Structure 1
Amino acid sequence: MKTRNIKNLVCIAVVVLALSSCKDQAKKDADKKAMEEKISMEESNMKAEEAKVKEETKKKEMMATSIAAVASNNEELSTLVSALKAADLDKMLSEPGSYTVFAPSNNAFEKLPKKMSIAELGKPDNKELLTQVLQYHVVSGVITSDKLVEAIKGANGKYTFTTVGGKDLTASLNGDKIVLKDEKGNKTEVVLGNVKASNGVVHVINDVLIMK
């Protein structure tokens, strides 16, 4: 009887030790898993932060060479830049996208009649009209001079395309010069083409285009 009791005690002790050992192992496994999950989460957060910084850097670099920035760095386009800011269109031309801008020079704005002068268009009451005028100079997508010449020739000398404002422009050639005709029938020449930007291309023209 005494021997049996001893055996039972031994068995109980073994069971207790086994259970204790299992609990310790389970705790170790749980701690290990928790640590692995913490490390994984920290790595994910680090990668997300790195991606965010990379994206912000890329955006800043893009904005520094955007159409709005290119125009701001050209003294001959200072009036256009002021007009874009007044119409709140400078942001659109600073952000990622794909645009072709026919940019009137300062001299082009000086040719406008008084009622259409930048001083008049820049007034708060005329913001909608100013926006429409400026949108008449912007086309979605990148159209380089070569592409435009090719399109003109492919359309038997006259190529019509639509601006972001929903109005049409017609391009033709005068010798090796690209000529644009607005809806009023006025014509202007591209005096400087293919000014590249991160979100498109700029062609400087010597008149302001007017829609009907």
Structure 2
Amino acid sequence: MKQLLSFFTKALIIASFSITAMAGHHMKDKEDIVTIAAGNDDFSTLVTAIKAAGITDILKDAGPFTVFAPTNAAFDALPAGTLEKLLKPENKDALVQVLTYHVVEGKVTADQVVNLSEATSVEGTTIDISTDMGKVKVENATVVKTDIMASNGVIHVIDTVIIPDTLAASL
């Protein structure tokens, strides 16, 4: 019974993601990840951070990449001073580490994400992925929109900035 319930839960999540993806799909799959993010006001802080980290060219590359993209509200929810600290030139390495923790190599669509329990980030460590009550979680972040297709991968929008454990204490 538990397996059957798990199957139906995953099926509902996949269906929900597919409907969300179709409803939000734009003809932007000719644009790369950074261009799409730069064209969306909800990602202006992310784009600023990508530029400050000097990884714009990497995320414009052929990829493919899967980006779990935090919104401006997610950055605003960081503890006071954290974003400002990360954006300082002397903290560029930490900023790169945080941003690449949000990126996975390969194009992982919503229907694939729901079947994962973890993924290796470009930063090099494992991020936990789980599904619960119809929601997909990436570490402590909830995926709020899926499958924004780009020429070099896919973007999934998350509501929280995820921080690698190795950096959490120092921020």
TM-score, scaled relative to structure 1: 0.62
**Cα distance in 2, alignment partners of residues 116 and 85 from structure 1:** 17
Partner of 1:202 in structure 2? 155
Deviating beyond 3 angstroms after TM superposition, the runs of 4 or more aligned structure 1 residues are none
Which is bigger in relative contact order (C-alpha 8 A, separation at least 6)? 2
**Cα distance in 2, alignment partners of residues 121 and 161 from structure 1:** 24
Change (3 A) 1:147 1:112: same
Offset at residue 114 of structure 1 (A): 2.5
Letter paired with 2:150:
A
Partner deviation per Cα, 1:153-173 (whole Å, 9 max, x = no partner)? xxxxxx111101111111111
Offset at residue 150 of structure 1 (A): 2.6
SS, match of residue 169 in structure 1? strand
Letter paired with 2:105:
S
Offset at residue 178 of structure 1 (A): 0.7
Partner of 2:85 in structure 1? 120
**Cα distance in 2, alignment partners of residues 92 and 123 from structure 1:** 20
* Structure number with higher helix proportion: 1
Change (3 A) 1:125 1:180: same
Letter paired with 1:124:
P
The within-5 A match list for 1:1-212 is 65-117=31-83, 119-151=84-116, 159-181=117-139, 187-212=140-165
Kept in 1: contact 2:73–2:159 (CA 8 A): yes
SS, match of residue 164 in structure 1? coil
**Cα distance in 1, alignment partners of residues 54 and 141 from structure 2:** 25
Q: If you compute each CA radius of gyration, which structure gives the higher value, 1 or 2?
A: 1
Partner of 1:10 in structure 2? none
**Cα distance in 1, alignment partners of residues 48 and 138 from structure 2:** 23
Letter paired with 2:42:
E
Aligned length: 138
RMSD between superposed Cα atoms in Å: 1.6
Kept in 1: contact 2:29–2:150 (CA 8 A): no
Partner deviation per Cα, 1:133-188 (whole Å, 9 max, x = no partner)? 0010000001101011133xxxxxxx11110111111111122211111xxxxx11
SS, match of residue 73 in structure 2? helix
**Cα distance in 2, alignment partners of residues 105 and 161 from structure 1:** 21
TM-score, scaled relative to structure 2: 0.77
Identity, % of aligned pairs? 41
